[in-house]
Amino acid sequence: MKATLDQIVAEARELFRERGYAGASMQDLADRVGLKKPSLYTRFPNKESLVPEVLALTLDETFADLHEESCEWTVEYEAIIRRIATTLSDRQRCIGLHLAYGVSEDTPLAATAVRGYFAALRDRIANVLARGVEANRAEDLATDALVRLEGATLWIITSGDVRPMERAVSSLIDEAKRLAH
Amino acid sequence: MKATLDQIVAEARELFRERGYAGASMQDLADRVGLKKPSLYTRFPNKESLVPEVLALTLDETFADLHEESCEWTVEYEAIIRRIATTLSDRQRCIGLHLAYGVSEDTPLAATAVRGYFAALRDRIANVLARGVEANRAEDLATDALVRLEGATLWIITSGDVRPMERAVSSLIDEAKRLAH
DNA sequence: GTCTATAGAAAGATAGAC
DNA sequence: GTCTATCTTTCTATAGAC
């Protein structure tokens, strides 16, 4: 199988997304990537160290091919909101939210990574909004947009219903267009 | 100590809220209520059976002293939205959301209980809204309100910032008042 | 009803052979 | 670099004394 680091991290992400931090085991991960448990520990010192890697990979993928400053800001805003919403709907649940709820003082490096993950998402959205509104307001609007999308995953999990996510996306985009006028 | 059933369930809720389903242990719970582990198993057949009890208690508390049909629907709507938001802000995180993310096919009774919990919350909000808008729309609006409040807990967890929750509450109440006119 | 004691499985992590 | 084997702890859950 010859699993690469990125493949292991991607599998770890799946595992964390499905079972959460506490519910995911190194044995499960080893099985999924076709390695024995001790071989995992040659690449990662412990389970907690997987969390920053998982979130960094996810950030990279989320921002891939999203060109900044290349068009009107409302178009770019719509693109990033839809990118996040589509990813959440496809995967059913948010790895970041699951980890945010799952890590604690016992896992400080993981907790720091989660904070950084959401701050990065917010900042990226805020940067787009700042082209149309004042900076402080852009940050608040970005935060509110993000938590709305995240909240909508709750309904996907509990009932499989993606319409709250779709309504959140529509509402956010409409609000942005209203701000632009 | 002589722990009552309700006290045990309340402690279990704290534990689930802090550590999630997988991260909470029966040993921890036993320690918190001053019993030995086998004594817990005389009251609850297994860990999963705690979940429906925890959510039922939480529903009861959420709806306590919220009188229905006693005033204008916008006032009642504001009361229930604020009740939910205040509870979430005080407790920092949502037990229901944590459990929604934490239970799976391995714990079908718990998963069913979580679905029922959020359906009950939505229905209660929808009932209020139905006094002002058409029934289908009331259900959608109730769902959207609920997921917005739940999503705002993410920012409380990751940064301790309750302002996204406060903005969500203001926005929801403003929207309701606009609908009432 | 609550306890001591323990079973049996699984967790995170490491030693050391190859 | 990957493995077998193992350590230590912790988990859910139960048997059985009092």
Mean pLDDT of chain A: 96
CA-CA distances (angstroms) from residue B160 to A31, A115, A142, B16?
37, 11, 17, 19
CA angle A28, A59, B103 (to 5 degrees): 40
Residues of chain A scoring pLDDT < 70: 1-2
Is the C-beta atom of A78 closer than 7 angstroms to strand C? no
pLDDT per residue as tens, chain B (181 positions): 568 999 999 999 999 999 999 999 999 999 999 999 999 999 999 999 999 999 999 999 999 988 877 789 999 999 999 999 999 999 999 999 999 999 999 999 999 999 999 999 999 999 999 999 999 999 999 999 999 999 999 999 999 999 999 999 999 999 999 999 8
Protein B74 CA to nucleic acid D12 C1', in Å? 48
Sign of CA dihedral A174, A125, B144, A85: positive
Provide the pLDDT for residue A70. 77
Amino acid letter for position A35 = L
Residues of A in contact with B150 (CB under 8 A): 151, 154
A101 with B97: Cβ contact below 8 A: yes
Is the C-beta atom of A86 closer than 7 angstroms to strand D? no
Protein A10 CA to nucleic acid D16 C1', in Å? 48
Provide the pLDDT for residue B70. 77
Q: How many CB atoms lie within 10 A of CB A67?
A: 9
Q: What's the full length of chain A, in residues?
A: 181
Residues of A in contact with B23 (CB under 8 A): 20-23, 102
B150 with A148: Cβ contact below 8 A: no
Q: How far is CA B94 from the centre of its chain?
A: 6
Instruction: Answer for the pair A42, A120: CB distance below 8 angstroms, yes or no.
Output: no
Provide the pLDDT for residue B1. 56
Residues of B in contact with A98 (CB under 8 A): 101
Provide the pLDDT for residue B67. 80
Read off the pLDDT of residues A74-83 as tens digits, 9 standing for 90 and up.
999 999 999 9
Provide the pLDDT for residue A1. 57
Residue B48 CA to residue A42 CA, distance in Å, equals 36
Q: Which of B100, B14, B124 is nearest to A151 (CA)?
A: B100
Task: List bases, strand D, within 7 Å of protein CB.
Answer: 1-5, 10-16
A158: nearest CA partner in chain B: B115
Protein B93 CA to nucleic acid C8 C1', in Å? 35
Question: What's the pTM value of the predicted model, to 2 decimals?
Answer: 0.97
A interface toward B at CB cutoff 8 Å? 18-23, 93, 97-98, 100-102, 104, 114-115, 118-119, 140, 143-144, 146-152, 154-155, 157-159, 161, 163-164, 167-168
Is the C-beta atom of B39 closer than 7 angstroms to strand D? no
Provide the pLDDT for residue B26. 98
Residues of A in contact with B159 (CB under 8 A): 115, 118-119
Q: Which of B131, B100, B103, B93 is nearest to B117 (CA)?
A: B100
Phi and psi dihedrals of B94, rounded to 5? -100, 120
Provide the pLDDT for residue A69. 74
Could you tell me how many CB contacts below 8 A there are between chain A and chain B? 108
B140 with A159: Cβ contact below 8 A: no
Long-range pairs, B70-78, Cβ under 8 A, ≥24: B72/B180, B73/B128, B73/B129, B73/B131, B73/B132, B73/B180, B74/B132, B74/B173, B74/B176, B74/B177, B74/B180, B76/B128, B77/B125, B77/B128, B77/B129, B77/B173, B77/B176, B78/B173, B78/B176
